[in-house]
Structure 1
Amino acid sequence: MEVPFFPILFSSVRNSVVNQPFFPTLEEWLVKHPKIHEFSWNNGKTLGSTPRFLALTVLAYIAFTFLLSQVLKPSLARPVLKSISALHNIFLVTLSFIMALGCLVSIFSQVPNFKTLVCFPMRTPPAGPLFFWGYIFYLSKIIEFMDTLLIILGNSMNRLSFLHVYHHSMVVVMSYVCVDSAQSSFSMVLVINCSVHVVMYTYYFMCTLGVRPKWKKMVTDCQLLQFWASFLVMAMLVFYHFTGSGCSGILSWCFNAAFIVSLLFLFSDFHAKNYPSGPKVKPKYA
């Protein structure tokens, strides 16, 4: 039993892309490279793969955020801070683009049909190109802790909200769980999230250059849109799980579904407060 429309769309787009002259080159670099193609997530052997590492990393982030913001209150000279921020943002724009592209090329190269994309077979091992990009995605979420440090160093404490800290800490957990459990459909969520982050960090990079783009609201709109897109993907995963022989990582899906619901609620509340339908107000969070 198939979900109508999406399998046909996927097949059509996939066939169109793989027949393009540039695809073999991208595939050679982003899928068939030995480090990518032969990747395997081994709990306890792969860097950052243990639950202990995950717990200590998240707890350290929360502890240092509290200490630096409430006790130490460090600061940097504005020119130095702007330079570091610019490098950080352009690095994450580049990394997010590469992850999105790498995962997308891996999908078109390795995934035979839409059902497999949404619903990995049961007992799928976390190995190969898709999980390599999932692993890089997980590590990138740790790098994004730098966002918080830059906020504190710039004394922009109005931006250090519960939403910010909760999002940064829990998304690391979500990313870890996705790879460790070989969760179905995570590659689609990765592509969506990284695409949104290209837009978001481009906005932040332009701000460090002294340019204030007029499309700030679009950044939050894109974040909300990605949550709704994730819900659609998750709904299809559930459909395939209960109408077929089951999908890999269904238990971790339950955790991630609850997390995305909480993010949708928090971001919707943020959107309503900062972009009311009445007179325009200056956003409080960047």
Structure 2
Amino acid sequence: MELPFFPALFSTVKSLVVKQPFFPTLEDWLVNHPKILEFSWINGQTPGASQRFVTLTIFAYISFTFILSQVSRPSLARPVLKSISAVHNIFLLTLSFTMALGCLVSIFSQVPNFNTLVCFPKRTSPSGPLFFWAYIFYLSKIVEFMDTLLIILGNSMKRLSFLHVYHHSMVVIMCYLCLDSVQSAFSVVLITNCIVHVVMYTYYLMCTLGIRPKWKKMVTDFQLLQFWASFLIMAMLVFYHFTGSGCSGILSWCFNAVFIVSLLFLFSDFHAKSYSPKVKGN
């Protein structure tokens, strides 16, 4: 059984995109490269693919964040800090764009229909281009720990909120579970998250360069929109799971559902406190 509208839309967009003259070139670079095409996630063998690695990584992140936020720290010269921040933002902006594009091209190249995109068949192997980009996405969330270090080194402690640390910690666990359980629809969530991060790191980069864009609120709006889009995709996953032969990774879906609900609540609270008329009036 299929949902109306979305399968037809997917087929139409796919047929249009693959006919474009630039698509074969993108496919060669982002899908058919041997390192991407032959990728396979193997627990205990692929670097970072173990519960021990995730546990130690999260523990180290939280511990160092707490310690560095409490002790006196050597202050970096402002030009040095701005240079490091600029390089960091450019790197993550570029990486987010590449991951979104790579995953999108992989979908149009490798996924036959909308049903398969949302609901991987049971016993799907975590290998190939889609899982390569999911793996890079997982590693990028560890690189994003640098956000926290830059906040601490810049003495911007007001930005070091519970939401910030919670989000950075839990998203690594989410990515690991999605890869290890071969969760369906994760590639769609990856694309939406990377698009939001392109906007977000563009904003951070402009701030670092001394430009204060007037669309700060739009960054948070995009994040909230991303969570609602994730709910829609996850609802589709459940629909296909219970109306068909089942979808891969349904157990990790439960973790992600709780995680996204918590993020929606926390970001909505942040949005209300930051952009309400009462706050603006103060």
- Residue correspondence of structure 1 range 14-93 to structure 2 within 5 A: 14-93=14-93
Q: Deviations over 1:91-124 (max 9, x none)?
A: 0000000000000000000000000000000011
Q: Deviations over 1:123-158 (max 9, x none)?
A: 111100000000000000000000000000000000
- Residue correspondence of structure 1 range 237-276 to structure 2 within 5 A: 237-276=237-276
Contact 1:120-1:247 at 8 Å conserved across structures: yes
- The 2-side partners of 1:47 and 1:102 are apart by 21
Q: TM-score by structure 2 length?
A: 0.99
Partner of 1:229: 229
Partner of 1:11: 11
Aligned positions, number: 282
What secondary structure, in the 3-state scheme, does the structure 2 residue paired with 1:125 have?
A: coil
Which blocks of at least 5 consecutive residues in structure 2 are unaligned? none
Partner of 1:219: 219
Give the RMSD, CA atoms, in angstroms: 1.0
- The 2-side partners of 1:186 and 1:101 are apart by 15
Report the CA distance between 1:65 and its aligned residue.
0.1
Partner of 1:119: 119
User: What amino acid does structure 1 have at the position aligned with 2:186?
Assistant: F
- The 2-side partners of 1:195 and 1:2 are apart by 27
Report the CA distance between 1:278 and its aligned residue.
4.1
Q: Deviations over 1:155-206 (max 9, x none)?
A: 0000000000000000011011111111000000000000000000000000
Q: Deviations over 1:1-51 (max 9, x none)?
A: 111110011000000000000000000000000000000001111000010
- The 2-side partners of 1:123 and 1:69 are apart by 45
Partner of 1:201: 201
- The 2-side partners of 1:177 and 1:44 are apart by 14
User: What amino acid does structure 2 have at the position aligned with 1:245?
Assistant: S
User: What amino acid does structure 1 have at the position aligned with 2:48?
Assistant: G
Q: 1:281/1:174 Cα in 2 relative to 1: closer, same or farther (>3 Å)?
A: farther
User: What amino acid does structure 2 have at the position aligned with 1:209?
Assistant: L
State the 4+ residue runs in structure 1 displaced beyond 6 angstroms.
none
Report the CA distance between 1:253 and its aligned residue.
0.5
Q: Deviations over 1:41-92 (max 9, x none)?
A: 0111100001000000000000000000012434311110000000000000
- The 2-side partners of 1:217 and 1:74 are apart by 32
Report the CA distance between 1:223 and its aligned residue.
0.3
Report the CA distance between 1:280 and its aligned residue.
1.9
Check if 1:147 corresponds to 2:156. Answer: no
What secondary structure, in the 3-state scheme, does the structure 2 residue paired with 1:280 have?
A: helix
Q: Percent identity?
A: 80
Report the CA distance between 1:279 and its aligned residue.
6.0
- The 2-side partners of 1:166 and 1:137 are apart by 18
- The 1-side partners of 2:105 and 2:244 are apart by 27
- The 2-side partners of 1:53 and 1:266 are apart by 27
Partner of 1:132: 132
- The 2-side partners of 1:131 and 1:31 are apart by 11
- The 2-side partners of 1:279 and 1:139 are apart by 37
Which blocks of at least 5 consecutive residues in structure 1 are unaligned? none
Q: TM-score by structure 1 length?
A: 0.97
Contact 2:273-2:279 at 8 Å conserved across structures: no
